[in-house]
Amino acid sequence: MKQIKKILVANRGEVAVRIIRAIREMDLKSAVVYSDADRDSLAVQLADEAYYIGPSPARDSYLKIKNIIEAAHLAGVDAVHPGYGFLAENPVFAEAVRSNGFIFIGPSTEAIKTMGCKLLSRSIMERAGVPVVPGAMAAIKDREDMFATARHIGYPLLLKSSGGGGGKGMRKVDSEKELARAYELARNESFSSFGTNTIYMEKYIKNPHHIEVQILADMLGTTVSLGERECSVQRRYQKLLEESPSPFLDHETRSRLAKIAIMAAKTVHYVNAGTVEFIVDENRNCYFLEMNTRLQVEHAVTEMVTGIDIVKEQIRIARGEPLSFTQDHVLSQGTAIECRIYAEDPDNNFMPSPGTVLGYHAPGGSGVRSDSGVFAGSDISFHYDPLISKLVTWGRTRDEGISRMKRALLEYKIEGVKTNIAYFSKILENGEFLSGNYTTSLVENMRLESAAAAAIPAYAQGD
Interface residue list for ligand ADP (CB under 6 A):
133, 158, 164-168, 170, 202-205, 208, 210, 234, 237, 277, 279, 289-290, 440
* Nearest distance, CB of residue 62 and ligand ADP, angstroms: 20
DSSP β-bridge partners for residue 132? 288
Q: Identify whether 98 is a catalytic site residue.
A: no
For residues 446-456, one letter each, b for 16 or more C-beta atoms within 10 angstroms of the residue's C-beta and e for the rest, the string is beeeebeeeee
134 vs 334, which CB is nearer to ligand ADP? Answer: 134
82 vs 208, which CB is nearer to ligand ADP? Answer: 208
Determine whether 311 is exposed, middle or buried from the number of CB atoms within 10 Å of its CB (0-12, 13-18, 19+). Answer: buried
The angle that helices 118-127 and 251-267 make with each other, rounded to 10 degrees, is: 110
| Distance (Å, whole) CA 398 – CA 299 | 18
> Which of 87, 94, 107, 75 has the alpha carbon at shortest distance from 10?
87
The angle that helices 176-194 and 143-153 make with each other, rounded to 10 degrees, is: 110
170 vs 268, which CB is nearer to ligand ADP? Answer: 170
Return all residues near 244 (Cβ < 8 A) that are at least 6 apart: 227, 228, 229, 230, 301, 302, 304, 305, 332, 335, 336
* Nearest distance, CB of residue 237 and ligand ADP, angstroms: 4
270 vs 287, which CB is nearer to ligand ADP? Answer: 287
168 vs 254, which CB is nearer to ligand ADP? Answer: 168
* Nearest distance, CB of residue 288 and ligand ADP, angstroms: 10
* Nearest distance, CB of residue 121 and ligand ADP, angstroms: 10
Among the listed residues 171, 187, 235, 294, the single catalytic one is 294
* Nearest distance, CB of residue 279 and ligand ADP, angstroms: 5
Determine whether 422 is exposed, middle or buried from the number of CB atoms within 10 Å of its CB (0-12, 13-18, 19+). Answer: exposed
Q: Tell me, what amino acid is at 340? A: R
262 vs 289, which CB is nearer to ligand ADP? Answer: 289
* Nearest distance, CB of residue 124 and ligand ADP, angstroms: 16
> Which of 39, 41, 43, 40 has the alpha carbon at shortest distance from 30?
43
CA distances from 320 to 95, 222, 413 (A): 18, 12, 43
- CB-based contact 257:286 (threshold 8 Å): yes
* Nearest distance, CB of residue 309 and ligand ADP, angstroms: 26
34 vs 200, which CB is nearer to ligand ADP? Answer: 200
- Work out the widest C-alpha separation in the chain, in whole angstroms: 66
- CB-based contact 96:65 (threshold 8 Å): yes
CA distances from 261 to 62, 237, 275 (A): 31, 22, 8
Active site residues: 294
